[in-house]
Amino acid sequence: MDLVDGAAIFSAGGGGDPEVGYNIVDRLVNKGYIVEVVDPAEVPNDAIVVNFACVGATTSVAYHSEAALKTFEVLEEYLGRKAFAVIPVELGGLNTLAAVDVAARHGLPVVDADGAGRSVPEVHLKVYTIDDIPLAPMTIADVDAKNIVLAKQTRDSESAERIARLLSAEWGQTAYTARRVLTGDQVKTSPILNTLSKSMRIGMLLRKAVDPIGATLKETSGFKLFEGIVNVVERETREGFTWTTATLRGVYENKGSKFAFKAKNEILVAHKDGKLSAVAPDIITAVNPETSKCITAEKIKKEDKLVLIGISAPEKWRTKKGLQLWREVLQRSNIKERYAAIEKLHR
């Protein structure tokens, strides 16, 4: 469970429902599966590693293990060789565990790394795109794997995103994807490394620390952005995304202040008293002040008590190309704010 809770802290309120992640863990444990986590440095150079995740609106929570595994196996069949390991495409309470589930059921290790160091709203928005690693070939399947589409090649990663998004919207707003075939050489340098072990450390702090939120912020060099109560929340599911906006009134040290955020699956931008508090790619996550666990954006409701925390994005996202990828996504999300590093906004 530590991996579920820790990965959710880096999810920015996306990455799927942690409750589904808990269910995956329970099923794996009850059926006696053992999951091996392998360091990226241990992957043979001539091996291949496949990324796996769900894609679609975060309000859709269906997950079927056998269908997910079938999606992965169809890609292996096309490649004509077995993967050495599975790697999560991102950190999140469901998506990280979906990769773990597929790996365990297929008898493969899971790599201690991921493609974003957080959750992200679009399929192509991974650090692999910075390194020009193609997203296709890619398999996309509905939640029962009754429909499976193989995209052998796409013009670019953005085209692959549109294909996966349209299919997920057609299939009840969610789908499975196996994609981004990495070589052993690439897996050592392209992903965000050692993020699963980092997430498990955060999960342990949430479970054991006297002040879990404080301990998490210390471990991540993060920031407490706001503590308050939700006044208004609006939500809409469309185009394969869950769009959420919320405003909060402050309590304790934030009494008299207001906070607002906007999410497209993940929380992408936040303002305190009308001033920018944080913007993606930096991570903005809502947590329950009593349990210190993430509350995903699609579950936030009026009168919820929340603590909003902020964590700096991995440095790869802060490169010129990384920020440009995010800028394009933010613009499509009607977010006009220019990026400003969270540590500069809160120094």
Burial of 209 (0-12, 13-18, 19+ CB in 10 A): middle
Domains 2-195 and 210-345 share a fold: no
DSSP string over 164-188: HHHHHHHTTTEEEEEEEEEEHHHHT
Residue boundaries of the structural domains of the chain: 2-195, 210-345
What is the predicted pLDDT for the residue at 161?
86
From residue 265, alpha-carbon distances to 24, 173, 201, 218, 242 in Å are 21, 12, 25, 26, 5
Sign of CA dihedral 200, 201, 202, 204: positive
Of 60, 64, 70, whose CA–CA distance to 139 is shortest? Answer: 70
Name residues whose C-beta falls within 8 Å of residue 323's C-beta, 6 or more positions apart in sequence.
Answer: 281, 317, 339
Of 70, 100, 101, 266, whose CA–CA distance to 178 is shortest? Answer: 70
**2-195 domain in CATH 3.30.420.40?**
no
End-to-end, the C-alpha distance of the chain in Å comes to 34
Q: What is the pLDDT along the chain (347 residues), one digit of tens a residue?
A: 899 999 999 999 999 999 999 999 999 999 999 899 999 999 999 999 999 999 887 766 679 999 999 999 999 999 999 999 999 999 999 999 999 999 999 999 999 999 999 999 998 999 999 999 999 999 999 999 999 999 999 998 889 888 988 998 889 888 999 999 999 999 999 999 999 999 999 999 999 999 999 999 999 999 999 999 999 999 998 877 899 999 999 999 999 999 999 999 999 999 999 999 999 999 999 999 999 999 999 999 999 999 999 999 999 999 999 999 999 999 999 999 999 999 999 98
Residue 234 near residue 262, CB atoms below 8 Å: no
What is the predicted pLDDT for the residue at 148?
96
Please tell me the CATH code under which domain 210-345 is placed. Answer: 2.40.390.10
